Chains A and B, each alone.
Chain A
Amino acid sequence: MLPKFDLYMPTDLAEACRLKGEGAKVVAGGTDVFVNMHGGKDRSDKVVDVKNIPQLQGHSFSPENGLDLGALTTHRDIELWDVIKKHYRAMFEGCSRVGSVQIRTRGTLGGNICNGAPSADSIGPMMVHDAAVVVAGPANERIVPLKDFYLGLKQLDMKEDEILKRILIPAPKAHSGSFYIKYTRRNAMDLALLGVSAYVELDGDILKTVRIALTTAAPTPIRAEKTEALLIGKPASEALLTAAGKTVLTESHPRSSWRSSAEFRLALLEELTVQALQEAIAQAKEA
């Protein structure tokens, strides 16, 4: 039984912002919110369902502008969209491995981003694709790069009366490729014990652009910028990738949990960083 609450289902974005500002809990797919409520962890007495707000709906792609995704875009939408598999492979790998078909059918990108779990499978992939989020308040809106959206454990750069409206992801560049590797103890229905996302742009054999993001490797999803700097401008040799696997350890802080010890996570991180880069490079060569 869910706790008692007042439910609001506005179609107006400003109205939803106002309700959130007054302390109402935003619910999109509810796959985090209702689990917390069933478990007694969330006792919000006001809930605002944002699914009827047009500005949060819909998703489109154009070769010039890239992806414009409503916050309500589901993991299943991403998984079944051919554009994603072709140009944003890391996102396919992440979203298609969230929970189950039922969870992906309901769970939204906006919910995954705003829940902000270190293990969130869509965030790292979107970070390496240089995503930005459009955050709307009652009067105006602003654009925040996704990599700057996390201020600390479950702390977002989002004011009390702001709502995540859309996610913008640049058009795919020539000779680019990406990948995400999610390591789990079992194949289905498990959270990432560790995850690495990589994106590269090649100029011949040279790594022209590199972005790496780490999942479950710190209190928030993070970019590995030191490792990126090490790689950029150099030929993608095996020795260089091995060095990247070592560097990434210096800029991550995995913790021990019942799922895994920090030591095991570090060992995985080194290996998976190399693998994710190799896969992204292979994708870029095919592109």
Chain B
Amino acid sequence: MQNITIHTIVNNELYIRTIPVNMTLLQFLREDLHLTGTKEGCDEGECGACTVLVDGHPMNSCLVLAAEMDGKHVLTVEGLAEDGRLHPLQEAFLEVGAVQCGYCTPGMLLSGIAMLNLYPHPTREQIRKEMEGNICRCTGYERIADAILLASERLAGETEAH
């Protein structure tokens, strides 16, 4: 087949689309759904700017076919804020100044969230290891790690409060 119809849930919204099979998930998000928060850096898995979560797992959307997304949940940076309130990790990025040009930020956020789901109390060493697939040319990474640590404290506080 050269075209395929997929039912996919992106940021909690169902989309039914017929697409060419050689379309990447990155192209689908940006060009079909006009969700341009997800960035293209290298198109070969090296930079992480295109990172999204598929059923909760971080993937380079430049190396995934949109055709594979039938029945899957995709989370992009546009889906992080809830009821007009930024995700705690987004807030932490703003507060500590972990964003400069911002090109890596959407991918950093998604990788950061996947990591916090797996390791709610990460060490700095763990952050370095788990975030190795996201490259930033501006910040020198320190503040990105600071932001993740800050968010981990706040998220832990939130779960305790509930």
Contacts and interface: CB of A to CB of B under 8 A. Distances in A.
A54 interface: no
Contacts, number: 86
A2 B22 contact: yes
B133 A101 contact: yes
Interface of A: 1-9, 30-31, 34-35, 38-39, 47, 49, 51, 76, 99-103, 105-106, 187-189
A4 to B, nearest CB: 6
Which secondary structure dominates chain B's binding surface? mixed
B34 to A, nearest CB: 18
Interface in B61-85: 62-65, 67-68
A102 B57 CA distance: 8
Contact of A105 (B27, B58, B65, B131): B58
B153 interface: no
Contacts of A2: 22-24
A121 B118 CA distance: 24
A102 B65 contact: no
Contacts of A38: 43-44, 62
Nearest to B63: A34
A30 B63 contact: yes
Contact of B1 (A4, A7, A188): A7
B21 to A, nearest CB: 4
B2 interface: yes
Closest 8 interchain pairs by CB? A100-B133, A188-B132, A7-B21, A2-B22, A102-B133, A34-B63, A102-B60, A35-B44
A4 B63 contact: no
Contacts of A187: 132
B111 interface: yes
Given A5-B21, A189-B132, A102 B51 contact: yes
B68 A51 contact: yes
Interface of B: 1-2, 4, 20-24, 27, 43-46, 48, 51, 57-60, 62-65, 67-68, 111, 114-115, 128-134
A99 B63 CA distance: 13
A102 B44 CA distance: 12
A192 B45 CA distance: 17
A3 B22 contact: yes
A106 B43 contact: no
Nearest to B70: A9
9 contacts: A4-B22, A6-B1, A7-B2, A7-B21, A101-B114, A102-B58, A103-B133, A187-B132, A189-B132
A99 B42 CA distance: 15
Given A5-B21, A7-B4, A105-B58, A30 B64 contact: yes
Nearest to B20: A4
A2 B134 CA distance: 23
B68 A101 contact: no
A24 to B, nearest CB: 12
Given A5-B22, A101-B115, 15 more contacts: A6-B2, A6-B21, A7-B2, A35-B44, A38-B43, A47-B21, A49-B68, A100-B48, A101-B58, A102-B58, A103-B60, A105-B59, A106-B60, A106-B63, A189-B46
B48 A7 contact: no
A103 B42 CA distance: 14
A57 to B, nearest CB: 15
A39 B62 CA distance: 12
Contact of B67 (A7, A39, A99): A7
B35 to A, nearest CB: 18
A34 B27 CA distance: 14
A103 B111 CA distance: 12
A35 B133 contact: no
Contacts of A103: 45, 60, 133
Given A2-B22, A102-B58, A31 B63 contact: yes
A31 B133 CA distance: 13
Question: Which of A1, A49, A102 has most B Cβ within 10 Å?
Answer: A102
A96 to B, nearest CB: 8
A244 to B, nearest CB: 31
Contacts of A188: 128-129, 132-133
Question: Which of A4, A7, A9, A47 has most B Cβ within 10 Å?
Answer: A7
